[in-house]
Amino acid sequence: MKSVLITFDQAYYERIMALLDRLGCRGFTYLEKVQGRGSKTGDPHFGSHAWPSMCSAILTIVDDSKVDPLLDTLHIMDLETEQLGLRAFVWNIERTI
């Protein structure tokens, strides 16, 4: 399993929730009004792809086999509306309780 953090503009909320449901992601934590800063290149800046435009984040657990379909779909969503700065971060889950 992997942990995936998705940061996004509120305009994506319904689409991301539908995607997680379709992929059968088992659970998530939804965080509203998150703040941060970043870019595609990693250099901080304001404007398109800057985190201050994002207002929400979802932390979810995803089966290994579903990570690529999730990221592929999120990438397509980002390409369609790059100004909304959709981002996803994935890491391994070492332990759970």
- Which of the 8 DSSP states describes residue 46? S
DSSP string, 72-93: HHHHHHHHHTGGG--EEEEEE-
Give the pLDDT score at 25: 84
Give the pLDDT of residue 34: 64
Domain boundaries, the chain: 2-92
**pLDDT of amino acid 40:** 58
Residue 37: predicted pLDDT: 55
Q: What is the mean pLDDT of each run of 10 residues along the chain (97 residues)?
A: 88 89 85 63 50 73 94 92 80 85
Question: Among candidates 3, 8, 2, 4, which has minimal Cα distance to 78?
Answer: 8
CATH 3.30.70.120: does it fit domain 2-92?
A: yes
CA angle 8–76–42, rounded 5-degree value: 55
